[in-house]
A and B are shown apart, each in its own frame.
Chain A
Amino acid sequence: MSGEGAGPLVEFEGVTVAYRRGRRWTPAVRGVDLRIDAGVTYGLVGESGSGKSTLALALLQVLPPNGRVIEGTIRYRGRALDRLSAAARRTEFHRRVALVPQDPLPSLNPARTVGRQIEEVVDPSGRAGGGARGRALAMLEAVGMADPERVARAYPHQLSGGMQQRVLIAMALAGEPDLLVLDEPTTNLDVTTEVTILDLVRELVRDRDTAVLYVSHSLGVVAELCDRVAVLYAGELVEDASTRALFARPRHPYTQGLFDSVPRLGTTRRLVALRPIPGRIPAPTALPVGCVFAPRCPIAIDACRRAQPPLEPAGDGAVRCIRWREIEAGEADPHQAAPPSRVAATAERVDAVLDVVELRKHFLLRRSLAELVAGVPQRAVRAVEDISLTVRRGHTLGLVGESGSGKSTTARAIVGLDPASAGAIHVVGQQVDRVLERRPAIAIRQLQMVFQSSDEALNPYRTVGAALRRPFRRLAGLSRAEAGDRVRRLLQDVQLTADYAGRRPAELSGGEKQRVAIARAFAAEPEVLVFDESVSGLDVSVQAAILNLVSSLQEERGTGYLFISHDLAVVSFLADYVTVVYLGRVMESGPADRVLQPPYHPYTEALLSAIPLLEPGAERSHVRLEGEVPSPVDTPAGCPFHTRCPRVLGEICRTEAPPWRPAGDDHGVYCHIPLEELSAVQVPALRSERREGGGGGKGDRG
């Protein structure tokens, strides 16, 4: 990529940004030095609370009213931004930069058409005539809209999330900016959409000498896109390096910790345990003396806790660690201690604890009065269509699919919250009613669920202890004292201290809440536990700890898991069996290592090749899914995937339901394409990843 010789476009010099709470100003970002050259794609990585979005908004001069740069200078083309007059800021800065935010919908004016909003970039005063329109349409076409005219006439809420994000990209690039800031632009999108958006950004930026600041929590996305990476932790810049150097050998223990927390495709818990970073990010009001990372650092020494380390030049960048030379020389080991990895789970056929046969969930749509009179037949949303699955004792079944695939509906139907329309559910060999209220107490105890958001699952007014005592008292009929005893042991099992029993959900961090939710589910001593996206909202270092916890609890107790996630890497880490669903139907299922190997269902192949890898410059497969997931009201006839399938054969896919093609060991796919042909496909990046067996990102490939 270009980038040499143009000189600094943006310079941060000792920038401290603070937010006012009451009368006090609390810094969220402290003393950041950073230089972004023209044409360079810069990644800004950090977990929640690192201050990465704050830094981006400070650069763009659009901090919320209670935020301010209280120290240091931000320069754009050598001019200090805080000294610009309002008019100069508008015409000489804001018209030259652009932002693509995380949430597209609130960033668009709900009362104006998309076309008019894009025109305004080209023509901010609204005086020019027809030229702006043409430019808007051209931009919409450039971001891959099939029908730019229609999109231009639409209001933002009429578009899907992926299309809204494309509109914002079109808007951002319509003014041909020098600097494009992307703030987690794909975090709320499906992987298959994310990968097309990343392709688009890469392609649109390549020829224009546009500098990019890409803010993200995901190292994988940054590796795919960026020339350089800056890592933020607790408001401080801890490491800055070229992507290649950073991924080859991180110099800061925090960066190393991030790498070790991310589950990689093909590494399962049976092979290695993840290495989470212990503890949590300090609150901006309670920063430690000395290095901010010292309390969580595996190699912290006394000197680290005495004084804040300076940002020292290192290699092609800089690092804020007094021991970076030792780390680089291999004399200090920045890896967190690995928890003992248990190798267990024989391939023996253990008995099923949950058996679901041809589960179906249809939601009937209400007809309008006119439709009722005209005799239009009532239509149904076919959210789940004949899904069968089996969870075995001590084993995990992963259920993967994009949003709209019916994963969560399946989970809720199995536990009986939204009863299924048809199908049989067996819990430990006993068929149970589809409706939760009609199930015997023992079946309810045996089948428990952990939700995605523990905020919704935990009553904010009850203490953790009270929430955990309830299942013991109700389902196990224990006395108060006995129950209290069990609560203490349970908290210990999820690695929380006994004093957590007295706290309320608001006093807990996201990871702690999820631990409590897991403890609550285990209180009933279930045989089967359903996890519905239970780790999706967590930062990677916390997610790693929860995944390890969930894994070791299964080893100890032999509970069967149904683990639902959109993240194939997480699922492949935890699961022994994987079922891939699309539009409420099974596409592929089998043992995890077999599903990740050819023969692939074309949908699985697309999911796999969309996952960002931790290898800059890795050779990537280019399977991309076009368009949107069809509405489950009008499910396509034949194979439900045929409208987006890159390998569609022709008429047969559109008219006939695909046959089950068994590939041995319970593995099989629903596809018209013969197995031999599907076996010939390899997802190249996955192949290299698997050979490495889950070691650090070496970055020497490509």
Chain B
Amino acid sequence: MLFTSLLIFLITQALPGDVARILLGREASQHAIDQLRAQLGLDRPLPVQYLTWLADFVKGNWGTSFSTGQPVRALVLSRLVNSLQLAGLTLVIAVPTAVAMGVIAALYEESWIDTLISLLSLSVVGLPEFITGLVLIQVFSFRLGWLPANSSIAPGTGFFAALPYLVLPALTATLVLLAYVARLTRASMLVELNRPYVRTAVLKGVRWRRVVVSHVLRNALLPTITVIAISFGWLISGLIVVENVFNYPGLGRLLTFAIARRDIPLIQAVALVAVLGFALANLVADILYAAFNPRITLR
């Protein structure tokens, strides 16, 4: 975490362009620029800048946005809530669908249904999000008129009020995850189905459905659980394209906004929150894996 914070800091420092000059415009005098740099603390040595920044971040003082003049913290946190809502809904849609598809494909391996699921999921994953997103908008908003095409919700909208706006972006993100999770589930199901303990269960005279549900699934879903937990980290801050297509105010769009304006405090805050999200997701993945796998003991 400390290392990535340093990395984020250095990368943002290496961004082309001088902040003060961008803020003041091309015609500003050298004197004005120097004054602003001193005011922002940009004239101090890099290690000092880094440590001050890190200490402030931990204390909750994330600074002020260069471009909007708002406090960074409030801005990032409200967007984080939006992102969490979108990520949560995506998982709720994606996980049961993908797992069901993977399990069915594995149980009927090499049958027409397996081929169909593979074809569907693979053809969808090949399409970029802005295409699938636009197709979904075309169908559900313009043709059917069921759901809004623009998801730019106001800050502070409650989850249920926001729900109609969330569905289309969540569906788009689902399509990205779906193929991956379904293929993984299918593969690990096939591995587990061929393990000798399945034979043991069959020889006990256990019903096939029960063999699958109570013996195979639990072992087969272990890798899937890990992948889902990790992808949650990506859903929080990696949905840049989806959020832009739908104009959804999440972290991803905030990041593109900040980068376009060289808004260093904002970039740093969003990036650090994103990394934190990834790290937490990984931790949760490991804990879940251990909890479901008696072969691993937590110490």
Contacts and interface: CB of A to CB of B under 8 A. Distances in A.
Interface string A86-103: 100011001101110101
B126 interface: no
Contact of A124 (B204, B294, B299): B204
Interface stretch (A57-65, A358-366, A579-587): A57-65
Given A107-B200, A111-B292, A90 B205 contact: yes
A62 B202 contact: yes
Interface string A350-382: 000000000000000000100000000000000
Contact of A121 (B204, B207, B219, B293): B204
A118 to B, nearest CB: 9
Given A110-B219, A112-B215, A94 B294 contact: no
B295 to A, nearest CB: 5
A656 to B, nearest CB: 38
B197 A124 contact: no
A124 B202 contact: no
B197 A109 contact: yes
A65 B210 contact: no
26 contacts: A62-B202, A62-B203, A91-B205, A94-B203, A94-B205, A99-B200, A99-B203, A107-B199, A108-B197, A108-B200, A109-B201, A110-B219, A111-B218, A111-B292, A111-B293, A111-B294, A117-B200, A120-B206, A121-B204, A124-B204, A124-B210, A125-B210, A126-B214, A171-B200, A175-B204, A175-B205
Contacts of B207: 90, 124-125
A664 interface: no
A125 to B, nearest CB: 7
A5 interface: no
A489 interface: no
A106 B195 CA distance: 7
A109 B222 CA distance: 14
B157 interface: no
Contacts of A270: none
Nearest to A96: B205
A51 to B, nearest CB: 18
Q: Please name the 6 residue pairs, one residue from A and one from B, whose CB atoms are nearest each other, closest first.
A: A95-B205, A107-B196, A94-B205, A155-B294, A109-B197, A124-B206
A62 B199 CA distance: 7
Contacts of A117: 200
Interface residues of B, number: 24
Nearest to A118: B204
Interface residues of B, dominant DSSP: helix
A368 B294 contact: no
Contacts of B295: 110, 155, 157
Contacts of B202: 62, 94
Contacts of B196: 101, 103, 106-107
Contacts of A98: 203
Interface in A137-165: 155, 157
Nearest to A95: B205
Contacts of B292: 111
Contact of A111 (B199, B203, B219): B219
Nearest to A104: B196
B261 to A, nearest CB: 46
Nearest to A101: B196
A520 B196 CA distance: 38
Given A62-B199, A124-B210, A126-B210, 13 more contacts: A60-B203, A64-B194, A86-B208, A94-B202, A101-B196, A101-B199, A106-B196, A107-B200, A109-B201, A109-B219, A110-B295, A168-B200, A175-B205
Interface in B275-299: 292-295, 299
A600 B299 CA distance: 46
Interface of B: 194-197, 199-208, 210, 214-215, 218-219, 292-295, 299
A107 B200 CA distance: 6
Contacts of A94: 202-205
Nearest to B292: A111
Contacts of A90: 205-207
Contact of A109 (B194, B208, B215): B215
Contacts of A109: 197, 200-201, 215, 219
Contacts of A110: 197, 219, 293-295
Contacts of B200: 99, 101, 107-109, 117, 168, 171
A107 B195 CA distance: 7
Contacts of B205: 90-91, 94-95, 124, 175
Interface in A149-201: 155, 157, 168, 171, 175
A193 B202 CA distance: 28
Contacts of A101: 196, 199-200
A463 B192 CA distance: 37
A95 B204 contact: yes
Contacts of A107: 196-197, 199-200
Contacts of B214: 126
A108 B197 CA distance: 5
Nearest to A108: B197
A171 B219 CA distance: 21
B224 to A, nearest CB: 14
B225 to A, nearest CB: 13
B299 to A, nearest CB: 7
B197 A106 contact: yes
A323 to B, nearest CB: 41
A125 B210 CA distance: 8
B150 to A, nearest CB: 47
Contacts of B199: 62, 99, 101, 107
Nearest to A86: B208
Contacts of A112: 215
Nearest to B294: A155
A498 B218 CA distance: 54
Nearest to B204: A121
Contacts of A86: 208
Contacts of A97: 203
